[in-house]
């Protein structure tokens, strides 16, 4: 009697592996999608916190770029595809406050997915997730 596997046994094993991969692949892709949304939500929050710290510590108008926050050590590195928008234009305080919007322009996550991670996230236009806050001059 020969030892080994028959062709039918090998085909059954391959069919079982294929079925498992068909079930596991969508779950893995969804996990990657949720991880990216979580990363974007965390970066938006970190940039907003850095912006608020910048205004309160420097006692100045908000930073207009993420690079400004990095250069002053309010952020440790520059995350890509994030912009800072301030209204009114940060040349003067408007009644002691400025509205700051941090927007992610990567285009690889939806606002709904990021909103699941942080309910304060809004649509910053064109489906870009954004975080908005009013920075108040306290001094």
Give mean pLDDT in consecutive 10-residue pieces for the chain, a chain of 139 residues: 85 94 89 95 96 93 93 94 84 82 94 96 93 89
Q: How far is it, in rounded angstroms, from Cα 109 to Cα 39?
A: 10
Residue 121 maps to a domain: yes
Residue 2 maps to a domain: no
Domain count, the chain: 1
Encode burial over 71-91: b for 16+ CB neighbours within 10 A, e otherwise. eeebbeeebeebbbbbeeebe
Residue 72 maps to a domain: yes
Residue 20 maps to a domain: yes
- pLDDT attached to residue 90: 61
- pLDDT attached to residue 125: 87
Are the C-beta atoms of 46 and 65 separated by less than 8 Å?
A: no
- pLDDT attached to residue 56: 92
Structure tokens, 92: 């003067």
Q: How many CB atoms lie within 10 A of CB 37?
A: 23
Domain with 102 in it: 7-136
- pLDDT attached to residue 93: 79
Question: Angle 101-106-107 (CA atoms, 0-180°, nearest 5)?
Answer: 105
Residue 116 maps to a domain: yes
Cα of 112 vs its chain's centroid, Å: 12
pTM of the model: 0.82
Encode burial over 93-129: b for 16+ CB neighbours within 10 A, e otherwise. eeeeebebbbbbeeeebbbebbbebbeebeebeeebb
């Amino acid at each position: 009697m020969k030892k080994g596997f028959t062709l039918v046994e090998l085909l059954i094993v391959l069919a079982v592996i294929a079925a498992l991969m068909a079930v596991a692949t969508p779950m893995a892709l969804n996990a990657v999608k949720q991880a990216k949304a979580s990363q974007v939500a965390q970066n938006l929050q970190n940039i907003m916190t850095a912006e608020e710290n910048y205004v309160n510590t420097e006692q100045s108008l908000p930073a207009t770029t993420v690079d400004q926050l990095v250069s002053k050590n309010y952020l440790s590195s520059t995350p890509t595809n994030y912009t800072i928008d301030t209204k009114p234009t940060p040349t003067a305080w408007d009644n002691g406050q400025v509205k700051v919007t941090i927007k992610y322009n990567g285009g690889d996550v939806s606002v709904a997915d990021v909103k699941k991670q942080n309910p304060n996230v809004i649509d910053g236009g064109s489906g870009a997730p954004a975080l908005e806050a009013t920075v108040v001059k306290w001094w």
